[in-house]
Amino acid sequence: MNVMNQKLTGIGMTSDRTRMRMIERLRQQGITDEIVLTAMREIPRHIFVDNALASRAYEDCPLPIGFAQTISSPYTVARMSELARSGKPIKKVLEIGTGCGYQTAVLSRLAQEVYTVERIGPLLTKARRKLVEIKCSNVRTQHADGSQGFPDMGLFDCILMTAAATHIPQDLLGQLDVGGRMVIPVGTQQQHLYLIERTPQEFKETCLESVKFVPLLPGRS
């Protein structure tokens, strides 16, 4: 096995066996979508964190990735992905907050097209390298203010946000297609995960569980 293959496969606490334990834990936590579980089984989470934290990559907790940002816990990634899919194939998904690129990589296994926006330039540069490394060829990235979405790409059948907004951005609602779903954390001190479903007549909001995300910030850096 060459060095690159060994890095992607992992050894010890980053090994295939450790990844399988993560998948079994997700099942016990209530994740039932096997397509999501397969995607998370295939994506080497440990390459998206610093080497010093690689041995903790499959623990069920967020980890720092620099610039006051975090990689979400495996459960959070699985839960949001499952809500986004809702048991159906995704054609075109918009992710707000690329971060280290792990959620992006999972989405690349669930959707035909992935569009992802990140406001922090150095984070996006690192994420792009990792996505190329694991051959995520259906991902398009943009360095921009995520609250504005990706308006040049038309409507999306799924929008997923990985930072907490103080309110649901109207610009994003306008980019959600009829029949589409948005998964978004909302709040400041108290945050909750919301599912927004667009029908021909309205946007239906469902407040789900309490969550903890870094705040959605404006502008680029």
Catalytic residues: 72
What are the beta bridge partners of residue 116? 95, 141
Query: HSE (CB half, 13 Å, CA atoms) of 17?
Result: 3
Question: Which residues fall within 8 angstroms of residue 115, CB to CB, at 6 or more apart?
Answer: 92, 93, 94, 95, 139, 140, 141, 142, 150, 153, 156
CA distance 19 to 46: 10
Place of tokens 């946000």: 161
Please say whether the beta carbons of 134 and 43 come within 8 A: yes
Q: CB-side exposure of 210: number of CA atoms within 13 Å? A: 3
